[in-house]
Structure 1
Amino acid sequence: MKNGVMMQYFEWNLPDDGKLWEQLKEDAEHLHDIGVTAVWIPPAYKGCGSSDVGYGVYDLYDLGEFDQKGTVRTKYGTREELEQAIDALHAHSISVYLDAVMNHKAGADRVETCMAQLVDPDNRDQPISEPYEIDCWTGFDFPGRGDTYSDFKWHWFHFSGTDYNERDKKTGIYQIVSEGKAWSIGVDGENGNYDYLMFSDIDLDHPEVVAELQRWGIWVVREFNLDGMRLDAVKHMHDRFLQKFLEAVRADAGDKFYAVGEYWVEDINTLEEYLANINYEMDLFDVALHYNLCAASKSGRDYDLSHLLDGTLVASHPTLAVTFVDNHDSQLGSSLESQVEDWFKPSAYALILLMEHGYPCLFYGDYYGVKGEPSPHRTVIDTLLEVRRRCAYGKQTDYFDYPSVVGFTRCGVDDKPGSGLAVLISNGDDAEKLMNVGETHAGETWREVTGNRDETIVIGDDGNGVFPVSAGKVAVWTPEV
């Protein structure tokens, strides 16, 4: 979709009140009006309790419908409320992407016995014990749901590792070794082999598991009329499994079914290698760009802005990059905390929302706020979204040529009257830059729309303009209407 915008519609600290689906339903019209074209919803299925954000997955088939783990609803509401929210979003031409968590399960119903060995957390290929018998929480019977939707029950042989031995009450990383089990290949090489992440690690090499997860994927997409998925923790999952999973889902849902993976690594070579390994079957979040934005925000005027896009996915694979400023994992207090400083967020959002390439993802916390506190960025984000809808068209010309002030222009297109823009980002002093917006704009008067500059600029006959920006700010210039 031209100028599409994804919104991550949750943050880590939402209240455990079951109201998010209801809120999302009521918000659908507003989201459409500001230019959001897709919503990434949180993991919508039953976790370890009503307060579970959704990543402690208990039952993928229970989306707030059955009395399990002490609750019928999830943290976000009931299945019926979810369906109503999806219907409202679709009625406003907004796609829905489900957060799919298939790496692990938690909250098992009973203990089972298997052979396992402790491994070094820093090198999961290195055993630190001999294999011995443990009692592990790997029996999933789903007594509240029974056989509704699926009669599949999970047992120890469907997992490759776990984190707790009930017999001696010890925690650790236990690799299950019965029946010749091993960690999956096709995962990230951090810690030797990064197959294991948390809870009970699903064995994505087991044929029964592969078949069941494919059945679930087809079922959940059909049942809820989903348009895509955000695939969680893909660096910990066998890449071949994910490729086959998407093939199965798309064989039923159609080739346009969207997928974006969370591969939380900032090294561009690793991301490029992963994309090749999965035959470019999904987009990836541009974690490298996020870390560049974070570093720029924390270093201030000491950061060389001319390198802001160096080593990023949007620079090397622009059609496969989902660009973002922050998300639930990077926000303060989260496991991957790397939050972009507030002073730089307007500049960061101007970059991802107004540049030609990348699929921008807006974070709920940056737009609505965190822990119930309103966001200071909503007004400027609204302005940038409006500029994206009205002006962000045409070829981009980059001016990433000076350490303390960089910019780019978009020349606009004929069938979008008033389109075209110029963006400057400063992390130092007041500055100005000669930039070209195209001869078609000759003689036009341009105005800065974020409120940081009061003057106007008249575009020369050659399409050039000298555009100013205030110290440590972003300036967004568009044709005066």
Structure 2
Amino acid sequence: MMERNRTMMQFFEWHLPADQKHWARLEERAKELKDAGIGAVWVPPVTKGQSAEDTGYGVYDLFDLGEFDQKGTVPTKYGTKEELENAIKACHDAGIHVYVDVVMNHKAGADETERFAVVEVDQNDRKKVISEEPFEIEGWTKFTFPGRKGKYSDFEWRFQHFNGTDFDAKEDRTGIFRIEGEYKNWNDNVDDEFGNYDYLMFANIDYRHPKVREEVIKWGKWMAETLDCDGYRLDAIKHIDHNFVDEFSKEVVEERGDDFFFVGEFWVSELEPCANMIEETNGRIHLFDVPLKYNLFSASQEGAKYDLSKIFEGTVVANYPQNAVTFVDNHDTQPGEALESFLADWFKQSAYALTLLRKDGYPCVFYGDYYGIGGDEPVDPKKEAIDPLLYSRLHKAYGEQVDYFDHPNTVGWIRKGTAEIERSGCAVVINNSEEGGEKHMCVGEERAGEKWVDMLNSREEIIEIGEDGCATFPVNAGSVSVWALPEQDVKEPDPEADRKSALMQELVQEVKQELKDEIKQELMGELKQEVEETVEHKTSEADADKKDLKKEIKREAKREIKKELKKELGKDDKENKKK
């Protein structure tokens, strides 16, 4: 049996409530997601953050998955370890893979401070030292994990395990401070933005340190085995030594098997650095297609001025299709967040068509698009717009792909389908102008005579495929249509049949109304009779009660009168005796 297209969902957004119920939500929705066409979920960081509300990116303890009382809470923002395990099991039972978000660039929420020597560097050029000489600061770099008490790992973190921090508690000031020491420096094999982008935030982990490398690899293997997850999403890897990313992924794959999946957040909009990252990790790491994301964003902002025929230029999916995870938005690009570049509503469905219905790339649907976004800038869900695309990906988007990217405002492509999946194949047309458009495309002579409909219900026409296997497929202005063979055959419109059908419907409604009025009158009559009988019955009961009450009063009165008469008679008898 042919494997169906797999779709990933990022199962969180930034403003989820800190109610510790998110793992329970995932467990509850697993089957629903599978039915919708979701084959994998990327879940937020499962490790203990620096507070009960932490999203997980301010990671405190890698070995606490919501099990220990630390940072004022046992569960993470999303729930307990047991609830997480239950959610993963529910996903596996439904046939859904689970990818865990891994944060291994930094640590936050240290238990104690330490004093150590640093130099301060320029925030815009991390290679440039701006302090005259090394000086001592007091930094939050000592992690002892008192709540865990050495379970799973007795490794404790000290300043020697980091190469930078951003706060001096002694002077109560911020900056970027590079920690001094033998062999201490920024890692070289990182992104070159700001001269060297090794440092991002909090206490920056030093992957030059052999014990650090050993501990993090040990943890990566432990968590994959403990949770029985299917892959990792690696956070912020442009800030981590690329050689270590390769080593980490290689070690985990050797432990868990070649099917263990890795996707990295490598937030660079140019193709060349992405290509280098893929090659440096021997193709083991997939990358989120950030260049495509920014192309989609530009298209949503520029409208008809954007040339849709060039939307895949310079993207990961066009050049490294086997390593591309395509996406439209995520928790960092949603409104108000660090990388805000949220697509305009009018283009959102078209963008999802460009990721979900192509032969290349592993598409990811954003929770915030599907279920909506909370917080101060709430966004309505787009589930109704995305579901028919998920359906089309699961049932229609198979077989050879032919592109018709030959117009700046109207583009299209066809998927010829496969005999292994009945009624598969589709024709997609996207437009970004105010006039709408159409695209003449060929789906194959074997499809001649088939009647195709718009799976998105944007258009009502029925398109018949010509004898040459071609047809002209229309699309509304600033919209998308997905034409395909429906699950049941459709007939051409018949005006006379439609007129008779409409007349029949009208007559049916009239008859229903007449019957309704008759039944209403009958019911009202029955109800009136019941009321009258009830009143009559109650009246009869009241009369009977009245008679009984009179009898009782008479009896009581007789008793009282007899008593009084006896008293009177007794008095008279005594008087007579005296006389």
What TM-score comes out, normalization by structure 1 length? Answer: 0.99
Which residue in the other structure is 2:84 paired with? Answer: 82
Which residue in the other structure is 2:99 paired with? Answer: 97
Superposed CA offset, 1:167-206 (max 9, x none): 1111011011122301001100000000000000000111
Which residue in the other structure is 2:459 paired with? Answer: 453
Q: Report if the CA contact (8 A) 1:368-1:374 is conserved.
A: no
After the TM superposition, which of the residue ranges 410-419 and 366-375 deviates more from structure 2? 366-375
Superposed CA offset, 1:403-452 (max 9, x none): 11111110001111110001111100221111111122111111011121
Which residue in the other structure is 2:391 paired with? Answer: 386
Unaligned regions of 5+ residues in structure 2, if any? 489-579
Match of 1:242 among 226, 245, 248: 245
Which residue in the other structure is 2:13 paired with? Answer: 11
Report SS of the residue matched to 2:395. Answer: helix
Which residue in the other structure is 2:549 paired with? Answer: none
Which residue in the other structure is 1:156 paired with? Answer: 159
Bigger RCO of structures 1 and 2 (CA < 8 A, at least 6 apart):
1
Which residue in the other structure is 2:179 paired with? Answer: 176
Superposed CA offset, 1:21-44 (max 9, x none): 000000011011111111100001
Q: Report if the CA contact (8 A) 2:4-2:394 is conserved.
A: no
Report SS of the residue matched to 2:48. Answer: coil
Match of 1:222 among 213, 218, 225: 225
Q: CA RMSD in A?
A: 1.0
Which residue in the other structure is 1:188 paired with? Answer: 191
2:466 is equivalent to residue 467 of structure 1:
no
Report SS of the residue matched to 1:58. Answer: strand
Which residue in the other structure is 1:61 paired with? Answer: 63
Q: Report if the CA contact (8 A) 1:141-1:154 is conserved.
A: yes
Which residue in the other structure is 2:491 paired with? Answer: none
Distance in 1 (CA, whole Å) between partners of 2:343 and 2:135 is 46
Which residue in the other structure is 1:409 paired with? Answer: 414
Which residue in the other structure is 1:106 paired with? Answer: 108
Distance in 1 (CA, whole Å) between partners of 2:444 and 2:333 is 38
Superposed CA offset, 1:193-234 (max 9, x none): 000000000001110000000100010001000100000000
Q: What displacement does 1:269 show?
A: 1.1
Q: What amino acid is aligned across from residue 169 of structure 2 in structure 1? A: E
Q: Report if the CA contact (8 A) 1:9-1:39 is conserved.
A: yes
Q: What amino acid is aligned across from residue 296 of structure 2 in structure 1? A: L
2:257 is equivalent to residue 254 of structure 1:
yes
After the TM superposition, which of the residue ranges 433-442 and 17-26 deviates more from structure 2? 433-442
Which residue in the other structure is 2:354 paired with? Answer: 351
User: Normalized per residue, which structure has more helix?
Assistant: 2
Superposed CA offset, 1:377-417 (max 9, x none): 11121111111111110011111111111111100011111
Q: Report if the CA contact (8 A) 1:205-1:241 is conserved.
A: no
Distance in 2 (CA, whole Å) between partners of 1:37 and 1:220 is 21
Q: Report if the CA contact (8 A) 2:161-2:209 is conserved.
A: yes
Which residue in the other structure is 1:38 paired with? Answer: 40
Q: Report if the CA contact (8 A) 2:11-2:367 is conserved.
A: yes
Q: Report if the CA contact (8 A) 1:448-1:476 is conserved.
A: yes
Distance in 2 (CA, whole Å) between partners of 1:186 and 1:419 is 46
How many residues get paired? 481
Match of 2:403 among 383, 398, 417: 398
Q: What displacement does 1:2 show?
A: 3.8
Q: What amino acid is aligned across from residue 22 of structure 1 in structure 2? A: A
Which residue in the other structure is 1:263 paired with? Answer: 266
Matches within 5 A, 1:289-438: 289-371=292-374, 375-428=380-433, 429-438=435-444
Q: Report if the CA contact (8 A) 2:20-2:79 is conserved.
A: yes
Unaligned regions of 5+ residues in structure 1, if any? none
Q: What displacement does 1:376 show?
A: 4.0
Matches within 5 A, 1:263-282: 263-282=266-285
Which residue in the other structure is 2:120 paired with? Answer: 118
Superposed CA offset, 1:3-56 (max 9, x none): 110110000000111010000000011011111111100001111101100000
Q: Report if the CA contact (8 A) 2:373-2:381 is conserved.
A: no
Distance in 2 (CA, whole Å) between partners of 1:35 and 1:449 is 15
Distance in 1 (CA, whole Å) between partners of 2:24 and 2:420 is 38
Distance in 1 (CA, whole Å) between partners of 2:122 and 2:4 is 48
Superposed CA offset, 1:331-375 (max 9, x none): 111101111111100000111111111000010000001018673
What TM-score comes out, normalization by structure 2 length? Answer: 0.82
Report SS of the residue matched to 2:119. Answer: strand
Matches within 5 A, 1:140-151: 140-151=143-154
After the TM superposition, which of the residue ranges 50-59 and 430-439 deviates more from structure 2? 430-439
Distance in 2 (CA, whole Å) between partners of 1:114 and 1:381 is 53
Distance in 2 (CA, whole Å) between partners of 1:385 and 1:168 is 55
Q: What amino acid is aligned across from residue 206 of structure 2 in structure 1? A: D
Report SS of the residue matched to 2:219. Answer: helix
Q: Percent identity, aligned pairs only?
A: 52
Q: What amino acid is aligned across from residue 379 of structure 1 in structure 2? A: E
Q: What amino acid is aligned across from residue 406 of structure 1 in structure 2? A: V
Distance in 2 (CA, whole Å) between partners of 1:374 and 1:114 is 46
Distance in 1 (CA, whole Å) between partners of 2:446 and 2:237 is 46
Superposed CA offset, 1:298-344 (max 9, x none): 11111111111111111001111000000001111110111111110
